[in-house]
């Protein structure tokens, strides 16, 4: 069974800061998902990647298959980025990390 670890668990930063959230997994995967969940809201898929790097607006996701590691970066962070970010490793089903609770203060 895949073990998925996220760090940090909680992160508070100032508006404008560059944010990095890390995700490590123990078993080779076919894809890695990054999800975003706002308080009281549903979950939105941000990225699904199996190699390299993807970018959408101020969000960048990278994955290193050899090291079994992925990162989610947020550039020029804004209070509306405050949410829980969850990574999930895909191999015959999904295994989720426990999430990173991000707060961006104005």
Partner 1 sequence: DVKVTQSSRYLVKRTGEKVFLECVQDMDHENMFWYRQDPGLGLRLIYFSYDVKMKEKGDIPEGYSVSREKKERFSLILESASTNQTSMYLCASSFNSRAGGKLFFGSGTQLSVL
Q: Does 23 bind partner 1 (CB under 8 A)?
A: no
Distance CA 92, CA 37 (A): 24
Write the CB contacts of 53 (distance below 8 Å, at least 6 apart in sequence).
Answer: 60, 61, 62, 63
Q: Cβ distance 67 to 94 under 8 Å?
A: no
Q: Does 97 bind partner 1 (CB under 8 A)?
A: yes
**Size of residue set near partner 1 by CB under 8 A:** 22
Among residues 14 and 45, whose Cβ is nearest to partner 1?
45
- State the residues that interact with partner 1 by CB under 8 A: 30-31, 33, 35, 41-45, 48, 50, 86, 88, 90-94, 96-99
């Amino acid at each position: 069974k895949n073990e998925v670890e996220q760090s940090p668990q909680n992160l508070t930063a100032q508006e404008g800061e560059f944010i990095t959230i890390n995700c490590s997994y123990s078993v080779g995967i076919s894809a890695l998902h990054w999800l975003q969940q706002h308080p009281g809201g549903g979950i939105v898929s941000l990225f699904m990647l199996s190699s390299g790097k993807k970018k959408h607006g101020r969000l960048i996701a990278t994955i290193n298959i050899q090291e079994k590691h992925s990162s989610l970066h947020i550039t020029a962070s804004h209070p509306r980025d405050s949410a829980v970010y969850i990574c999930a490793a895909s191999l015959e089903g999904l295994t989720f990390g426990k999430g990173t609770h991000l707060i961006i203060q104005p």
